Each structure stands twice: as structure tokens, then as C-alpha cells.
Amino acid sequence: MSRPEIADSDILEPDDVRILRALQIDPRVGFATVAKVLGLSELTVARRYRRMRRAGAIRVIGVVDPGALGQSRWMVRLRCRPGSATAIAEALAQRNDISWVALNAAGSEITCAVRSRSQEQRDDLLGRRLPRTAAVLDLQASVLLRQFVGGRGHYWAALAGTLTPEQESALGPGGSPFTERPVVRNQLSQLSAQDEKLLAALAADGRASLVDLAAAADLTPGRVSRRLHALISGGVVHIDVEIAPMALGYRARANLWMRAHPGKIKAVGRAMAQMPEVGFAAAVSGPYNLHAVVQCRDLDELFEFTTDRIGTLPGVEGMEVSPIVRQIKQAETRVDGDRLTDPPSEDSRR
């Protein structure tokens, strides 16, 4: 994947992309530091960041790793009656235990990621509510078995090369690509009521100041700083930089449902983890044993990528390419058209 062509974007300018890359390296980096490294004024960096947020091109959020809380994750495919999928998808996106929702197959299929906090909550959704919905014709649920790529460590590689190595080093280590690991950890992390408040504040704004986080969690800034460090270093939460693909000219997103030879699943997953087009890849249960989400500039590039790059991987025996017609929720962020949207404030919900 080549560097983003700014001419393809109606939103971003070259300095905007450089700021995005700086945030990928350190999502909570201060504007003064970014300004110094990029040779801009602090006011310019702050102004451009806020403009990108208002335009829905970027959101910086805290994302909880379900595996650190002992939660399993499921990818669910729903085949719906014509004309009913949008309403069902919108209802699913309202749920806190569903982090990702997309419409596929000309709008008659829904793909969603479920991360229920309890078996009872999961069984209620997958075993009772959805099967009893008259408009749902078929339901396929696959549990995630091993995640190969996705999350904070895998910042979108489309922006690689935007900054010089010296500039990236000045901003911080950044972290290596996502390290393959079991989906559910053996040791359950316990969250306090104050942790829950802190995580909720980070989910709304991953760049919230320590003072604001302290107020939200009923803690002092010092205690919030220590607890935030512990939650991040323990893998319970990561600060994610969500970018609207259309802001960089990427107009073709698709789910890949793949069959690989059982002895080649790890090799295929690890190979896909090195591909910039792949934002997420995991081994799953069910008729397909690998699932991935990819994004390309257009359908022709998607075709070339799936045939020349994915289709030729040793061990790949079959693949279904399901273009995403409309993204409704990604990484717990609602999507309105091509814009990432902030969650409604508490005041607006009253």
C-alpha cells in the first residue's frame, strides 16, 4: 500500500496527515511536543486536530480489551429480510456489548462483533433475542480463537513514511505491530467502580486531561495517572486512533471469510498481519476458519489484493469477499455516513 494521496481526500491536508501519524505513535502526546517535532505552532496543531475531529475524520478513544476481562468475542453474520437490515443494524449499534457493525451483501446482511461481559448477556442476545427476530432469516456466530492483527499496536500502516525516522523517534517508541496472542487471558483483571468511570471517560475522549479524568473517576490526578498507566501496561485498555478511511481516500472495505488448511492457519494469519491493507485478522470457529477486515482505495484494488496477495498465500483453500456497503459502528465509535461521531453527551440523553 502506497502513502496516502492527499488529492484523494476532501478533508485532510498534508500537515493534517503528519499530525495523524504523530498521534498514531503516541495518542496522548501533547500538542506542544507535536508542534516542536513537526515544525508547526502549538496553536496550529491544536486547531487542525479539532477541525479533523469536527469533520469526523478522527477520534482518539480508550478501547478495552475484552480478553483482559475474561470475555470471549464473537463475529456474527445475520441474513435479514429485504428492507429490514438497516433497522436491526442500528439497534445493534446501540448496544454497549457490540463494538463493530456493518452492512454487507447489498444491505441484506449484517456483520457485528459481540463482546458480552457475561455468558448470560451473550446467550440472551445470540440464543434468544436475535433468533426470535422475525426479520432475521439466518444467524452464524463464530468465536474468535486467536487474533493476529488489530488494536493499538497495529496503527494503520497507510501512514507509514509520512514522518522521517528522526521525527518518529522524537515522538516516542510507537510500539511494534500487534503481537499475536490468545483472545482470552488466563488471569482475569478486576475493575473497580472508579476504573469503570475512568474507562468510560476514555471511551468518550482518549485525550482527556488527567484533571478531567480525575473528575470523572472521583480520584486525584496523581492517582488517575498511576491507574491509567497500570491499565494500559496491563493490556486492559489501549488508546486507539480511529481514522475514517474515506478521509484518506480509501473507499472499498470488505470482510474476508477464508478457509485455510488447518495446519496453515497460523502461517496465513501471520502473513496477513504484515499486510497494510489488513486492519483486523483472526482465527475463528465455524465453516470459515479465518476472518479479516481489509480496506483498499477502490474495488479494482480490492480485487487485485484478494487475488494476487491473499489468494496466493500457501494454505488458502477458499475465500468469500463480502464488500461493506455501510459501516455503522467501528471500534465502539458510531459512523454517520463517512464520519466518525462522538457519543451523545449525558446532557443530551436527559
Tell me what pLDDT residue 2 has: 43
Tell me what pLDDT residue 271 has: 94
Rg (CA), the chain: 20
Tell me what pLDDT residue 69 has: 82
Tell me what pLDDT residue 66 has: 82
Tell me what pLDDT residue 174 has: 58
Collapsed DSSP state (helix, strand, coil) of residue 324: strand
**Percentage, residues of the chain above pLDDT 70:** 89
Q: What is the pTM of this model?
A: 0.86
Tell me what pLDDT residue 155 has: 53
Cell numbers 498521534: residue? 23
Tell me what pLDDT residue 1 has: 43
Q: CA 177 to CA 259: how far, in whole Å?
A: 24
Tell me what pLDDT residue 250 has: 87
pLDDT in tens, 317-336: 999 999 999 999 988 899 98
Tell me what pLDDT residue 64 has: 87
Residues in the chain predicted with pLDDT less than 70, given as ranges, are 1-11, 151-158, 174-179, 181, 185-189, 344-350
Beta bridge partners of residue 139, listed in sequence order: 78
E strands in the chain: 58-64, 74-80, 98-104, 109-114, 136-149, 181-182, 237-243, 252-260, 278-284, 290-296, 316-330, 333-336, 339-341
Q: Are 152 and 206 in contact (CB under 8 A)?
A: no
Tell me what pLDDT residue 43 has: 98
Tell me what pLDDT residue 188 has: 53
Tell me what pLDDT residue 230 has: 92
